[in-house]
Amino acid sequence: MDTKLKVSIIMPVYGVEDYVGKAIESIQAQTLTDFEFLIVDDGTKDNSGVICDTYAAKDSRLHVIHKENGGAPSARNVAIDMVQGKYIYFMDSDDWVEPTMLEDMVAQAESTQAQLVISGYYIDTYCENERKFVQVQTWKDHIFPSQQEFRENAHLLFDNNLLYTPWNKLYLADYIRDNSLYFPITFWDDFPFNLSVIRDIERVVVTSEKYYHFIRQRSESETAKYRADMYSKREEEHSWMVDLYRHWNLDTPAAKEFVARRYVERIIGCVENVTNKNCTLDKKEKKRQIKTIITDEKLSEAIRLAKPRSCYMKCLLLPVKWCNITLTYWEGKIISTVKSKSTYTFAKLKAGR
């Protein structure tokens, strides 16, 4: 490994011809210039790959890898095996970053010998009539002096959505390499990857500075989409979180409350998913699925332990707590309507939950 090279940036690319140029330029504009940029064209069918090649032809720090389509996790994994930098940074190809991000995060890592640097970020949701809702995710500046303190406070970072995504983090490459950490080939691969990273991590630093702009377009993330396997995925995710805290041997009231609250909040999302306008199930089948979701004993115990942080969420949980299938069904319908009709309102409510 070339220890003179500070950062290896990894970015999978697929179907982002309208956005990838801005993503690349935001990396080229970094005040830290000592990096390699590994751009993985994951068999894109549009002009994204050609656009990346055009940028790479003019900048020797950019390296474009063209491969058959296998999904974002496979694209990232190909690049992980190629990195030459001391640190690894993961970028999404339809977002952009502030110019001092790499310099500041590397400085944090170098001064603290951190294996992981976590920063704040912005969620920029583009809504109706060109409106934009900006949600800020951040936590205080903090250097965790021990593995145990990080574990005891991880729920605070989870609560601020700082441990789920890869693009607000700088990873020590040796830590990733020595522990053979790769992205699992699954939908929503970011979360299990980061769980594997923090499972036995020892040196973590958090900066309150915000650099990354995660872009939600009205036609994408916040519109009425339906996933038939949403509930099973959320159940799987919950089992991962339970396993993490079991591995940490952490059974404090704060940890138990967080795990429970996280679970019930995502169950509300599962209910909305069933009532989504794009769900082709008939009303009877939708109610049957809702019954299966809200009558689970695990959910009842989670509701008992959870302490919702907003009146909005307390109200949403009432029909579920009462196991009232009809009320829960109509609640899901209302959420779906708001989600599809008013992106701004939905984004604001979601941010304040």
Given 194, 216, 238, the domain boundary residue is 216
Percent of the chain with pLDDT over 90: 86
Structure tokens at 19: 């956005």
Tell me the C-alpha distance between 346 and 222, whole Å. 8
Q: Name beta bridge partners: 137.
A: 121
Closest to 39 in 3D by CA, of 5, 55, 63, 59: 63
Residue 221: inside a domain: no
R_g over Cα of the chain: 21
Q: Which of 68-82, 204-218, 284-298 has the lowest mean pLDDT?
A: 204-218
Q: What is the pLDDT of residue 253?
A: 96
Tell me the C-alpha distance between 190 and 185, whole Å. 10
CATH code of residue 115: 3.90.550.10
Residue 172 phi, psi (nearest 5): -70, 120
Residue 223: inside a domain: no
Percent of the chain with pLDDT over 70: 96
Residues 240 and 314 placed together within one structural domain of the fold: yes
Yes or no: say if 30 and 211 are a contact pair by the CB < 8 Å rule.
no
Residue 225: inside a domain: no
Q: Which H or E element spans position 112?
A: helix 101-112
Residues 59 and 141 placed together within one structural domain of the fold: yes
Q: C-alpha 111: how far from its chain's center?
A: 27
Residues 243 and 167 placed together within one structural domain of the fold: no
Please report where in the chains the tokens 């998913």 appear, as a residue.
273
Please report where in the chains the tokens 């496979």 appear, as a residue.
74
Tell me the C-alpha distance between 117 and 169, whole Å. 5
- Give the mean pLDDT of the chain: 93
Residues 210 and 239 placed together within one structural domain of the fold: no
Q: How many helices (H) and strands (E) does the chain have?
A: 14, 10
Yes or no: say if 244 and 200 are a contact pair by the CB < 8 Å rule.
no
List alpha helices for 29-93, DSSP H: 48-56, 72-80
Residue 222: inside a domain: no
Tell me the C-alpha distance between 231 and 239, whole Å. 12
Q: What is the pLDDT of residue 129?
A: 66
Give the burial class of 58: count Cβ atoms within 10 A of its Cβ; 0-12 exposed, 13-18 middle, 19 or more buried: exposed
Residue 284: inside a domain: yes
* Mean pLDDT, residues 258-286 taken together: 95
Residues 128 and 106 placed together within one structural domain of the fold: yes
Residues 326 and 286 placed together within one structural domain of the fold: yes
Tally the domains of the chain: 2
Q: What is the three-class DSSP state of 95?
A: coil
End-to-end Cα separation, the chain, in angstroms: 45
Model confidence pLDDT, tens digit, residues 114-132: 999 999 999 998 876 667 8
Tell me the C-alpha distance between 283 and 349, whole Å. 26
Model confidence pLDDT, tens digit, residues 299-328: 999 999 999 989 989 999 999 999 999 999
List alpha helices for 185-252, DSSP H: 190-198, 230-247
Residues 30 and 155 placed together within one structural domain of the fold: yes
Domain span holding position 51: 7-216
Find the farthest-apart pair of alpha carbons in the chain and give their distance in angstroms, rounded: 63
Within 13 Å and on the Cβ side, how many CA atoms surround 296? 16
How many other β-carbons are positioned within 10 Å of the β-carbon of residue 86?
21
Within 13 Å and on the Cβ side, how many CA atoms surround 336? 19
Q: What is the pLDDT of residue 342?
A: 73
Kindly report the CA angle at 156 between 151 and 157, in degrees rounded to 5?
A: 80
Residues 261 and 341 placed together within one structural domain of the fold: yes
Residues 187 and 243 placed together within one structural domain of the fold: no
Structure tokens at 95: 């977002």
Mention every residue, 6+ apart, whose C-beta is less than 8 A from residue 322.
Answer: none
Given 164, 185, 216, the domain boundary residue is 216
Given 216, 243, 272, the domain boundary residue is 216
Residues 210 and 245 placed together within one structural domain of the fold: no
Model confidence pLDDT, tens digit, residues 91-106: 999 999 999 999 999 9
Residues 128 and 71 placed together within one structural domain of the fold: yes
Residues 321 and 295 placed together within one structural domain of the fold: yes
Model confidence pLDDT, tens digit, residues 19-63: 999 999 999 999 999 999 999 999 999 999 999 999 999 999 999
Torsion sign, CA atoms 234, 70, 74, 205: negative
